[in-house]
Amino acid sequence: MHGHGDAVAAPTVELIRAALTVQLGDDRAGRVPLDGTLAVRILADMRAHLADPQLCPAAAAARQHVSVRYLHRVLQREGVRFGAWVRHRRLEDTRRDLADPAFGTATVAAVARRWGFTDAAQYSRTFRAAYGMSPREWRAAGRPR
């Protein structure tokens, strides 16, 4: 299998394996693969809702029908911290858009809002801390993606 099939095959096989394991009575062996597929689903959900300023662990957990605590535990096993991941992805997406001529007429604040930042000043401080320059300086420098 190649491409999309590979991305679907591994989680599908793990889900089937986990279901069989649980049916046979060894729940512990089935839980790890299920957590792995849950992590994939959680991260996909986070990515899909990245532009939502209200994106938070509670909302993501509710959409996956798990507790916030369990969501954090599953992500932790993958080396992911919810807030740090969201901040990093949002910053990367704004940085990409700021370098994209298609967004050349959009204000920095509008680009930030597009990716879920609600406070332009806080966004600028966070951007500067991450990249060593302001969003405006980044755009003016014409940085490549």
How do residues 27-36 score in pLDDT, each as one tens digit? 554 454 456 6
Question: For 106, which DSSP code?
Answer: S
pLDDT of residue 47: 96
Q: What is the DSSP string of 48-88?
A: HTTT-TT--HHHHHHHHTS-HHHHHHHHHHTT--HHHHHHH
CA pair distance 83, 95, nearest whole angstrom: 18
Q: What angle is formed at CA 2 by the lines to CA 40 and CA 39, rounded to 5 degrees?
A: 5
Give the DSSP H/E element, type plus range, for residue 132. none
Give the global pTM: 0.74
Residue-wise pLDDT for 43-76, tens only, equals 999 999 999 999 999 999 999 999 999 999 999 9
pLDDT interval class at 2 (50, 70, 90): very low
